[in-house]
Structure 1
Amino acid sequence: MPTADIDGIPTHYEVAGSGPPLLMFSPGGFDSTLESWRTVGVYRRLRLLDHLSREYTCVTFDRRESGRSGGRLERITWADYVRQGVGLLDHLGIERAHLMGGCVGCSTAAALAVARPERVLSMVLYSPAGGVKYRMKQQDRFRRHAVYADEHGLERVVSLARGSEAGFTKDPRVGPWAQVIRGDAAFAEAYARTDPDRYRVTVTGTARLLFDRDTVPGPEPEDLLRLDVPALIVPGQDTSHAPSAARYLQECLPDTEYWDVPVAEQTPESAPARVLEFLAHAGKRK
């Protein structure tokens, strides 16, 4: 699998299919890997990637701190995730692309469109993560990790992470850098020696910046309201993908199509067809 060095962080990616470029921001929370498009929740059932790659050049990748990509011990913001996406487009020589986000990937897709609209043809926001319970769940995950790190120390966090395969989503104790600890011995050594007070600020600052609202995190609503990028919004229907999150994006984005279909009725036949219909129409407009 190819790797690109983006902002000093190795990014594992995969290119499948042919046709106009489609940059895909994976679902899976803090375990957002390119495999998630085939293994996680509704995406496994719908087989979206298999269908889309028949007509588009689909670029999937492991988000930083996930899968086989690297990471850096710093306060992470949405701008950092945007930088990874833009860097991958640059690496591949892609001037403009359609974007697709699944789950929390919707936040990065929308943030990239706000930051660099000239690089974006359209965006598909599938089952956007967000809502009151989602925000509470994410903040609690960081809180539980911070408590564990305070009580046991970072060397113990390293041992715990290396002793299991669980990611931050499944076991908050291992923290958001667990995958990097497992894959990079030099990083793990430096991580274990980090000043505890500085580390605590990094963790709490990341939680506050990433999950600061009771709807879709990421770009500010005033920036979304000014965005001239066509978008297809497909709602989710659970505590991490609240229907209100999808409606929020519909309210904020000026040029949207909203596929108002319950998750149970989003089928392997109807869902890929609806996404392909939107992308084809959006491609002609640009």
Structure 2
Amino acid sequence: MTSTTLRGVTIDYDDLGPPAGLPVLLVHGHPFDRTLWAPQARALTGAGHRVVTPDLRGYGRSGVTPGKVLLADFADDLAALLDHLGIERAVVGGVSMGGQIAMEFQLRHPRRVRALVLSDTSAAAETDEGKRFRNRLADRLLAEGMDGYAYEVVDKMLADYNVTAMPDVAARVLEMMCATDPRGAAAALRGRAERPDYREVLAAVEAPVLIAVGADDAYTPVAEAEAIHRLVPHATLAVIEKAGHLPGAEQPERFNAALLEFLAAQV
């Protein structure tokens, strides 16, 4: 674990694997931290890749910016982190909100994207109903904290059958959610409520794209991944069986196999 100050906030991150390996930047979703990617970091570094996993501002051990944090803020933080590490171009991947941050990164810093990995995410702009929901949830988290919300949604973050079948995974996911600072989670929710439509961005992507999705994702179902797949010129779709919204945690061997196969073509 290492920390640095970037754009006015302390960012904690791991930089693992050989410095000369293919750089892979993995971005966690809400409300998690970089340890969500631990199974992928082990597999990728074992294959000779360099893996960078930051805690986004407001999450994990990184500093908190109260109020509102836009996806653009997160994307620019990532660009600053790559600058700090001396990495010009990287494979940029994310899950859920992290996938939307990866899309925002493609929008703002396209020349730095060697390839994209989009897991269990959505490219469309937030709806009016979604905006109201995210802002109400932000208010709730600030008033009540994270625990009640975490226990309510764990069976959507994971496939419901995996909550009982994989108690260690469920416990780790709950631990991350409950440990998140409500101020950071609320700020991200308010910013995410204002996200733009990334479909035009994706339609113009020239880099290779891996689209992964849990077969039983309740938040961003397979149909959403298929829609992105149809949109993106150079895309591969991997449906991860027996997984929900977090296939990298629920079925790491299957997820890693798809990811490693994709990365092998980028070296």
Normalised TM-score (structure 1): 0.68
Deviation at 1:167, TM superposition (A): 8.9
Change (3 A) 1:146 1:271: closer
Does the CA contact (< 8 Å) of 2:33 and 2:55 recur in 1?
yes
Q: Give the secondary-structure state (helix, strand or coil) at the position aligned to 1:35.
A: helix
Alpha-carbon separation, structure 1, partners of 2:49 and 2:219: 29
Alpha-carbon separation, structure 2, partners of 1:73 and 1:180: 6
- Indicate yes or no: 2:200 matched with 1:210: no
Partner of 2:226: 247
The root-mean-square deviation of aligned C-alpha atoms, in Å, is: 3.6
Alpha-carbon separation, structure 2, partners of 1:134 and 1:274: 31
Partner of 1:5: 5
Deviation at 1:166, TM superposition (A): 3.8
Unaligned ranges ≥5, structure 1: 39-46, 150-156, 182-201
Alpha-carbon separation, structure 2, partners of 1:68 and 1:167: 21
Does the CA contact (< 8 Å) of 2:134 and 2:189 recur in 1?
no
Per-residue CA deviation, residues 154-179 of structure 1 (Å, 9 max, x unaligned), is: xxx4xx65xxx74975699x9x8536
Alpha-carbon separation, structure 2, partners of 1:242 and 1:271: 16
- Indicate yes or no: 2:27 matched with 1:25: yes
Alpha-carbon separation, structure 2, partners of 1:36 and 1:230: 24
Change (3 A) 1:180 1:211: closer
Q: Which residues of 2 match residues 202-241 of structure 1 at below 5 A?
A: 207=190, 210-211=192-193, 219-236=197-214, 237-241=216-220
Q: Give the secondary-structure state (helix, strand or coil) at the position aligned to 2:139.
A: helix
Does the CA contact (< 8 Å) of 1:129 and 1:240 recur in 2?
no
Per-residue CA deviation, residues 92-149 of structure 1 (Å, 9 max, x unaligned), is: 1111111121232111112112211111111111222689999967843531443687
Change (3 A) 1:145 1:211: closer
Partner of 1:274: 258
Change (3 A) 1:259 1:248: same
Partner of 2:81: 88
Change (3 A) 1:124 1:166: same
Deviation at 1:34, TM superposition (A): 0.9
Given candidates 77, 100, 114, the residue that maps to 1:121 is: 114
Identical positions, percent:
25
Q: Which residues of 2 match residues 48-197 of structure 1 at below 5 A?
A: 48-54=40-46, 55-128=48-121, 139-146=132-139, 157=143, 166=147, 178=182
Unaligned ranges ≥5, structure 2: 154-177
Bigger Rg, which one: 1
Normalised TM-score (structure 2): 0.73
Deviation at 1:275, TM superposition (A): 1.1
